[in-house]
Structure formats: structure tokens, C-alpha cells
Structure 1
């Protein structure tokens, strides 16, 4: 039997490496399923490498910086419309030719920031409909920020394509999507984010030696004020965030921990990490306990391998937290988006979150300390197996439906 080919439609090559982490885990799950599906990435932004994604984001930021504030909205909408029509439409069609199925997922894709995902997903699913490819919605996050135009584009695309299966990554997303699809009744399944089995897809490498006895390194994931504000946390004060990080670093250093600053890859986050590192100091005494690992993290595998070497993690970014969970590392999630709390509820860790406006560096560290005890039960194995099994079931479903289609075609 010919090996089935599925396109994973998401933002696999985004500068935010958490999206690539999801894509890698999905590919691992589909490939290791009984159907042994060959999975290919189709990046919604038309990227084909991580370096391309980073350069595109840097160019876009440079152009935005040159425009007056009043022109930003119009310029962004015009650029997006031209990009979708003249570059992405042929890109999607080219990438989908020869596939047996398209999987839209995972990540927070059913979200509407300046119509970015609504327009791209609409175009991509229309391409799938044109090629008569079955579509499977898998493990997506759903936001409550849909504009009227975004809602129309999402619903039009979902209704136009041959949508065989719908799953979301948490109960909140299920509720929001059910409301959006009303009054039509569709079965919506809740599955765990594929990143939960990152430790199975990307096991710790032997070349990364364990820390010496008695040395504990805390990875602190940095997210910039501009990124937090762009993604909805408009109340974030730049100085409050800056001071929080510096006091957290100082508290960790004072209590004998090594501190390793890292990011999930966004150029804005990397620049902010460097700014923080310069403020901490570059003298020999400081460098003995403080380091910036941002430049070493260039791929989802790099991100996972770094987190696997840490003793604990404090971070905003959801997939830094999900990776920490997967590698059985204690963590404190910093509150900024409802999707973080939704994930923690799914994995029974609702209390592992702190609001920096209400917390000090010392209180965040106090939240982390119990998990650093060797007797703490942090095993994610049951959740990882459940998440992987869900992807295997997706692979089986695609295989069964393709076999049925082939059988019906032969009997015509």
C-alpha cells in the first residue's frame, strides 16, 4: 500500500519556536502511528525554514517602525491582502498537490489579530477544497477575539472544505468553538496539546551532560513588553516587567541558583533578553551564576534540549511551560493569556501560575521550590501517553477513511 501523505498546516517555521515544537511533535505522532503517515509542513506564512521566519519578522518590524502610527492598520491590511492573494495562494496549492489529507493544527490558530490567521486559513482551506482534500482540525486553540470579518472568514472556510474531524486543545477552546459554529452541531473533541509528548519526540541528548551535584540552574523565559502588549496584555508596564525580571534574577542568585535566560525565539524577546543581561552585568562575579542562552536556541529541538538541562523553569510563553511539563521539570507560568491557564487546568496544575503585578521575585521562587525537592512527583508520563495516543488515533482515522475512499472508487 502506498504511504499516505498529510500536510500539517500551521506556523511550523515561526520565529516563535513553540509553534515549531507543536509541528515536530505532530509529525512524530503521525509517523509513529500504525498508519505510518508521511507528514509535511505547510507554513501558513509561506516560510520553509526557521531562518527565513526570523528574517521575515525582522523585515516586517523594520517596515512597521518607519510608518506613522495612523498608517499602521491600513498598511498591515493592504500588505496581508497582497501577500495572501499573490504569494500564499499559489504556495498552498503547490504544497498540497500530491497529499492525501490536510491537518490544520495545532497552536492558537483560530485567533484574530489584524485578520492574520482568518485570511491565511481561509485561503489555505479553500485551496484544500479546490483539490478535494479532506481536512482534519487537530488540537487547535481558539480565542475570543474574532472580529466580524474574521468570524465570517473562519466559518466560510470551515464550511467550504471537506472537514472530517474537529478537535481542540482545551475545554475553553471547545466552548468558544461550539459557540462560533452554532447553530450547526458538530462533534468537537478535546485533546491535549501535542507538545506534551515533546520528551518522547525529542528525548534529551547524551551530549548535554547533567549539572554537577549540588548545582541547580533555573531557566527564565523572557518575553518582551511589546510582544505582551501585541498579544493582548495592554496593561503591561515596561518598567514593571523589567524590574520584575531583575529582582527575580537577583533573588535566584542570592539563594545560590544559576540563572540562564532564554527565549522561544521571537526577535523582540531576544532583544529584550540582551537588554536585561546588560543590566545584570558582565563582570566575572556575575557571569559565574548568570548566563544568556538565547542565541544558542535556534530550533524547537534546541529549545527542548535547553529546557531538559534545567532544574526548573519560570516563563510566560506557553510552550516553554509545556516543554518543562513534558521533561518533568518544575515550573511557574507567568500569567498573560487565558490559554496558559487553560493548559494548566487540562494537566491538573492550575496553581502553577503567578501574576507579576501581584508577585515578587521571591514569591515566584517560593512557588518553584517545592518542585525542586527530589521527592516531588512531577511525572507527565500519563499525559504524554494520552496525547500521543490521540495523534495515533488521528493517523488511524485518516488511514481508515482513505482506505474506504479507495474501496468505493474501485467499486464504481
Structure 2
């Protein structure tokens, strides 16, 4: 009997490398439980590889073209942002993607939409793409599975129409947290099962890679604009004040830790970190280092292997670190962060609320939070992997 071909559709080549980590974790989990399956992939946003993300430019808005600056400003207006993403998909990207999508879906035995906060409607970026996946699956009579996705709590009417079609067609649905399960049921009355984010299984073959002995502290951060978009109470916070928060952490940790700045790979994140790094050097923090910008998921994982502690705003930098046995302090900029960590640890005291950006953390507070993060860490990781394996083994069959 020939091997079954599984097509995973996800944010495979996203510039935010956390998405690539999710894909690799899902792929490895399927192979572990179904070693005879052949896995192929499609990037949901139409990227073919990481080539477009390789540039290590650190240019900021001062050297960006006027048209690019104008576009970025327009995309901050919610309705214009949705119009932009709708136009970009239907007028540009869809035409380029469809020949490959048709060929791969037509020649696969089953389709998996897998991992990440895909069933959301922040900018209408995902609904039309996922709807097109459904239309092709239906046309070619291919079974569709939705695995480990996050689900937003607000869908516009067009998104609701599209997602309801997709979810009702799916043969099986799992989501990465209880809030996502409730959101799916709220909009569709369809039941789903929960399990931790696939990223927590990235180190499935060696749960705790080595003893976490050392004093290397990584600080992982992203643009303040991300916080402002999701947290209205931070609208007035300036980048200078944002940097004050991070500089205070460095100040209280400077004598006890070797500190390095790191990003998830996105060029916007890297530009912000470079600005912070330059400010730190100007203020006399010469021992702080800057990690090179990772351009592929395995590079990011290798970087995080070298630290012992991480304070992270990007969710999957923290997830990778946790999976490697590191001490982690996640900072939430979106409720999904709290939901995912709660599903994994069954604790609400792991994640710091975004209001912390207006505070000055003390060294004792930071170290207490680090200690909280590793309570039952090994047990949590084993349970997460066992749950994922059981769900895939029993439900990804046809």
C-alpha cells in the first residue's frame, strides 16, 4: 500500500520564526505518530522560502521610502488595514499561489491546517486564504483537519461566514487552548479538543537538553506598536518609556547575569532591538550583547539553547526556551499569550500582564518569576507531548 500524503498548510516561512517553529513541531509530531505518512507543505501567505527574510539590514524609518512609511501608517487604521489585506490577497497573492495550491491539494490524501493563531480576524488576512483552502478541499473531495490552531474572539460577518464553512467541513478539530475551544463553539456550535501549542514539543526527543546552570539572560522584545494595537491602555506609552522598562531590567540584573538581546527574526523586531542596544551602549552598558538576527527556525532554536533565562514578549521565544528547560518570563501583549501558557501550565502566575511596562521590576521579583516558571516543568512537557501524540495517533487517520 502506498504511503499517504499529508499536506500541511501553515505559516511555514513567516518572518516571525515562531510560526516556522510551530510548523516544524507539527510536522515532527505527525511523523512520530504516523511514520509512513509523507509530509508536504504550503505557506498560507504565499511565501516560497525564507529568502525574502535573509537581509540583515538594520535600517529604520529614517531610511525607508516615503511610500513605505505612508503604507505603514495607513495599515494602522483598522478598516484600511483590512482593505489592504483583502486587496493584496485577491488581486495579487492568490493568482500566484493557486496553481501550486491546486496541484498539491489535488495530489494529497489529506489536508491539515495547522498551528498558530490562524482562525482570527484582526485584519482579515487569514479568512479568505483559509476559505480558499476549504473550497479546494471540497472541490477535490479531500478530508480537512484543523490541528492546534488558536481562535480569536471576534469575527466580522464575512469572516464568520467563511470560517463556519471551513469548520463545518473539517473532519477533526483541535485547538491550542480552552479559550479557542469556547470561541469555536460560540460561533459554530462545533466541538473541538484542546492540547498545548505544538511548539512545546519542539524538543520532544530530549525534553531537558542539559542542566540549566549558568547566568546567561536573554531579553526578547518586539515593537511597542504591537502592544498598543492590542492594549488600548498603552496608547500613550512612548518608545523611550518602553526602553526605560528594559533598561531597568538590565540595570538590576547587570551584576548577576550575562545579558543579551534577541529577536524572533522579524526585521521590525530587530530594528527596535538595535535602537535599544545603541541606547544601552551610550548609557554605559558595554557588557550587553546583541544576538545576530536569526533567519530560520533552527537558527532561533540554537540561539535560545545558549541561554539559561529569558524574558520574552514574543510567545514562541518563550515556548522554545521552556521546551529546552530554561527559566522563562513571558510578557503578554495579546490574550492569546495568557491562554496558551494557561493551557500548558494550568497556572495564571507565569505570564506578566502588559501593564508591567509602566513599572520597574526588582531583581527579587524577576528571580521569583523565573523560579515560578520551572515548577513542574518536566512533567508539563511530558504531559503536553503525550496529549499531542494521543490526539494525532487516534484522529489523524482516514
The alignment's TM-score, normalised by the length of structure 2, stands at 0.85
Q: In structure 2, what is the Cα distance between the partners aligned to 1:377 and 1:398?
A: 31
Q: What is the correspondence of 1:204-215 to structure 2 with a 5 Å cutoff?
A: 215=214
Which residue of structure 2 aligns with residue 181 of structure 1? 188
SS of the aligned residue for 2:304 comes to: helix
Does the 8 A contact of 1:33 with 1:395 survive in 2? yes
Render the CA deviation track for 1:70-98: whole Å, top value 9, x for unaligned: 89544443222213541233332133232
Hey, what's the Cα distance between the residues in 2 that align with 1:300 and 1:364? Answer: 32
Match of 2:140 among 131, 139, 146: 131
Change (3 A) 1:176 1:205: closer
Residue aligning to 1:410: none
CA contact (8 A) 2:219 2:261 kept: yes
Residue 309 of structure 1 corresponds to: 306
Kindly provide the CA deviation profile for residues 5-35 of structure 1, in whole angstroms up to 9, marking residues without a partner as x: 2111110110111111111011111111145
Aligned counterpart, 1:216: 215
**Counterpart-to-counterpart distance in 2, 1:135 and 1:364:** 49
Say yes or no: does 1:96 pair with 2:105.
yes
Q: Superposition RMSD on alpha carbons, in Å?
A: 3.0
Query: What residue is the counterpart of 1:32 in the other structure?
Result: 32
In the TM superposition, what is the alpha-carbon distance from 1:142 to its structure 2 partner? 0.6
Contact 2:116 2:148 in 1 (8 A): yes
Normalised by the size of structure 1, how large is the TM-score? 0.83
**Relative to structure 1, is the Cα distance of residues 355 and 241 closer, same or farther in structure 2, using a 3 angstrom cutoff?**
farther
Q: Distance in 1 between matches of 2:361 and 2:227?
A: 22
1:248, 1:362 within 8 Å by CA — same for their partners in 2? yes
Alignment partner of 1:32: what SS?
helix
Shift, 1:399, TM fit: 6.2
Q: Does 1:166 align with 2:173?
A: yes
Equivalent of residue 336 in structure 1, options 333, 337, 354: 333
Aligned-residue offset at 1:123 = 0.9
Q: Deviations over 1:246-299 (max 9, x none)?
A: 22222221x32111111111111110000100100179x733x2111142x222
Please list every run of 5 or more consecutive structure 2 residues that lacks an aligned counterpart in the other structure.
none
CA deviations over 1:332-361 (Å, ceiling 9, x no partner)? 111211111112222133212223534677
Structure 1 CA distance for aligned equivalents of residues 28 and 337 of structure 2: 24
User: Number of residue pairs matched?
Assistant: 381
The answer (yes or no) to whether the contact 2:208–2:325 under 8 Å persists in 1 is no
Distance (Å, rounded) in 2 between the aligned partners of 1:277 and 1:84:
36
Deviates more, 1:357-366 or 1:305-314: 357-366
Displacement after TM superposition at 1:106 (Å): 0.6
Structure 1 unaligned residues grouped into runs of 5+: 402-412
Q: Residues 202 and 304 of structure 1 are in contact (CA less than 8 Å); yes or no, is this contact kept in structure 2?
A: no
Match of 1:199, SS state, is coil
Tell me whether 255-264 or 62-71 shows the greater mean CA deviation.
62-71
Deviations 1:33-72 (A, max 9, x none): 14532222211011121233567xx9xx965424473895
- Contact 1:64–1:72, Cα closer than 8 Å, also in 2: no
- Whether the aligned pair in 2 keeps the contact of 1:196 and 1:383 (CA below 8 Å) is no
* Match of residue 269 from structure 1: 269
Distance 1:119 1:305, change over 3 A: same
CA distance in 1, matches of 2:379, 2:155: 34
Shift of 1:234: 4.1
Distance 2:147 2:354 in 1: 32
**Which residue number in structure 1 is paired with residue 161 of structure 2?**
152
Written as runs of structure 1 = structure 2, the 5 A alignment for 1:320-331 is 320-331=317-328
| Residue 404 of structure 1: aligned partner | none
Q: Could you say if the C-alpha distance between residues 76 and 42 of structure 1 is closer, same or farther in structure 2, counting changes exceeding 3 Å? A: closer
In 2 relative to 1, CA 376–152 (structure 1 residues): closer, same or farther, beyond 3 Å? closer
What do the CA deviations read for 1:75-129 (whole angstroms, capped 9, x no partner)? 4432222135412333321332321111111110001122100011111121122
Equivalent pair of 2:208/2:378 in contact (CA under 8 Å): no
Aligned-partner Cα distance in 2 for 1:220–1:95: 40
3-state SS of 1:116 partner? coil
